[in-house]
Structure 1
Amino acid sequence: MKKNIPIAKLKNLTVEISNSTIENTSKINVFLMNTASVFLFLLKIIKNTFSKGFEFKEFIKQCHQIGTKSFALISVTGTIIGLVLTIQSRPILLKFGAINMLPNMVAISLIREMGPVITALICAGKIGSSIGAELGSMRVTEQIDAMEVSSANPIKFLIIPRVLAATLMIPILSIYADALGLLGSWIGTNIKGELNLYLFVSQAFGKVDFIDFVPAVIKSFFFGAVIGLVGCYKGFNAGRGTESVGIAANTSVVTASFLVILVDLIAVQITDLFL
C-alpha cells in the first residue's frame, strides 16, 4: 500500500527546494552582474585611452612606482631563479654526459617561460596589491567621489596611467629578470666547475633564436595589462568600509595571479600552433 506523505513535510520540502533555487539564481545573477561590470569598466578604459588629455606626468610617475622600485626585488629573484635552476639541472645532465647543454637549457627555460611567468607572479603580488590598496583607500576616503563631483575624470587620471605603466614595465622587468637569471646560472655553473663568462654566453645563446623571444615578450605585455586592470578594478570598486581596502588588495593578488597563469596557458597553446 502507498504511504501518504504528511502535508507538513511536503510544505517543508517545497520551501527547501524554493530556497535552494533562489540561492542558485542569486549566485548566477551576481556572476552576470560582475561580468557586466568588468566589461563596462574595460569599455570606459578603452574609450578614455584614445580621448584627449592623456596624463603623461602621472604615467611617468606610475612607471617609476611600478618599474624602478621593483628592480631590487626582481634582481634578487631573477638571480636566484637562474642559480637554483642550474644547481638542480646539473646532476641530471651530468648523468647523461650532456653538461655542455646546461647553459643553453637554462637560457631557453628562462627566456620562454620561467622569466616572464615568475616575474609576472611577483609583480601580481607587489604591484597588484599596491594598486588595489591605493585605489581602495581612495574610494573609502571618498577621494574618487570628490573627483567625480568636481567634474574630474578618475578613469583618465587614476586608472589609465596605472594600466599602461604596468603593461609597459612588466616586459622590461621580464627581460631584466632573464639577464639576471643567466648571471645567476653562470655563478651556479662555476660553483662546481670553471667556465668563463664569454664561453658561457656563447653556449647559452648558441641555439636560441629570435623567435624564442617574441612569444615571451608578447605575453609579458598581456601579463602587465592583466595585473594593472585587476588591481585598478578591485580598488576602484572597493566597498565603503575600512576592511574593503584589505579585501581589494587581497583579491587583486589572487585574481591577477590566477589570470596570469591562465593567460600563459592560452599563450603556450597559441605558440604551439604556429611554431
Structure 2
Amino acid sequence: MAETAGDAEAPKTRGILAIVDHVVDPVLDLFDDVGATVLLFFRAVVWLVRPPLRVSQLLLAIEFIGAGSLFIAGLVGMFTGMAFTVSTIVGFRQFSAEGMVGGVVALALARELAPVLAAVVVTARAGSTMASELGNMRVTEQIDAITTMGVSPIQYLVVPRILATTITLPMLSLAFSIAGMFGSWVVAVLWQAIDPGVFFDRVETFVKFEDVRMLLIKSALFGVIVSTICCKKGFFASGGARGVGEATAKAVVSSIVAIFAADYVATTVMTDI
C-alpha cells in the first residue's frame, strides 16, 4: 500500500515541479537577459570614450537608420495625426470645443505618440536589421575573426550602432511630429473647416518648450534601449540561420516592450502631477 501511495504522489510532485519550472525559469531568463544587455551597454560606453571612434561605421549607421527610416516615420506620423484628429474632433464636438483639436493633437504627439511610435518604426526597420546582421556575423564567425585581428567587436560593431540610433531617433521623432501635425491640419482645417488661425493658436498655447524637451529626451532614451537590445540579441546569437531568426524576433519584441515600459517611467519622472 505504501508503494502504491508513493506512486500516486509522484505524478503530483512532478506536476508541481513542472509548474514551478514554467514560472521560475522565465523569470531567471529575464534577469539574465537584462543583466547581459546592461553589461553590453556599459562595455559599449567604455569603448565609446576610448579612441579611435569608428567614424565611417557611425556615418553608415546614421545614414541607414535616419535616411532609411525618414519616409516611413513621416508616413506613419501623418496617418497617426489624421486618425487621432478624427477621434479628438468626435469627442470635443460634444462640448463645442473643436477649436482645441490642434493643441491637443500637438501635445499628444510631442509627449507620447511621436517618440514612442518613431521608436517602434526604428525597431521594426533598423533594429531588426541590426540583430540579423550581427547574428549572421556571429554564426559565420566573422566576429571571432575581428577579435583575432586585435579589434574590439564591441567598438567596431556595437558602439556605432548605439550612438547612431541615439543621435538619429530624436530627429526622426521631430519629423514624425511635424508629419503628424500636417495630417491633423489636413483633417481639421481642410476637411472639418476649423479656422486655421484658431488651430495654430491652440498649438502655440498648449505646446511648451518642456514638451519638446521631453520628446527629445525620450527619443534619445529609446534609441539607447532599442539599439542595445537589438545589438545584444544579435551579438550573442547562436544556432545557425534558425538561431539568427529567433534572435531577430526576440530583439523586436523585447525592444517594443521595453519602449512602452521606459515610456511610462520617463513620463512619470518628467511630469508634475
Structure-1 separation of matches of 2:23 and 2:12:
16
- Which whole-Å CA distance do the structure 2 matches of 1:253 and 1:20 have between them? 29
Corresponding letter in the other structure for 2:161: R
* Offset from partner CA, 1:165-217 (integer Å, 9 cap, x none): 01111111001111111111110011121544x65333322232111222221
Give the distance between the partners of 1:258 and 1:212, measured in 2 at CA: 23
Task: Tell me the equivalent position of 2:192.
Answer: 192
Question: How many angstroms does 1:140 deviate by?
Answer: 1.6
The structure with more radius of gyration: 1
Residue 251, structure 1, aligned to residue 238, structure 2? no
TM-score by length of 2: 0.89
The aligned runs of 1:117-156 (5 Å cut-off) are 117-156=116-155
Q: Which residue of 2 aligns with 1:86?
A: 85
Following superposition, the deviation at residue 45 of structure 1 comes to 1.1
Q: Structure 1 vs Structure 2: percent identity of aligned residues?
A: 25
Distance in structure 2 (CA, Å) of the matches to 1:29 and 1:120: 27
Distance 1:149 1:91, change over 3 A: same
Please give the residue correspondences for 1:98-109 in structure 2 after superposition, counting only pairs within 5 Å.
98-109=97-108
> Structure 2: which 5+ runs fail to align?
none
Distance (whole Å) between structure 2 residues aligned to residue 195 and residue 236 of structure 1 = 53
Root-mean-square deviation (Å): 2.5
Does the 8 Å contact 2:104/2:206 carry over to 1?
no
Unaligned runs of 5+ in 1: none
Following superposition, which runs of at least 4 residues in structure 1 exceed 4 angstroms of deviation? 17-26, 28-33
Give the structure 1 partner of residue 59 of structure 2: 60
Question: How many angstroms apart in 2 are the aligned matches of 1:133 and 1:100?
Answer: 47
* Cα distance in structure 2, aligned partners of 1:95 and 1:256: 39
Task: Tell me if structure 1 keeps the 8 A contact 2:106–2:203.
Answer: yes
Asked if structure 1 preserves the Cα contact closer than 8 Å seen for 2:37 and 2:228, the reply is no
**How many residues get paired?**
271
User: Deviation of residue 21 (structure 1)?
Assistant: 9.7
Please give the secondary structure, in 2, of the residue aligned with 1:205.
Answer: helix
Give distance in 2, aligned partners of 1:171 and 1:26.
38
Matched position secondary structure for 1:212: helix
CA 1:52–1:86 in 2, change beyond 3 Å: closer, same or farther? same
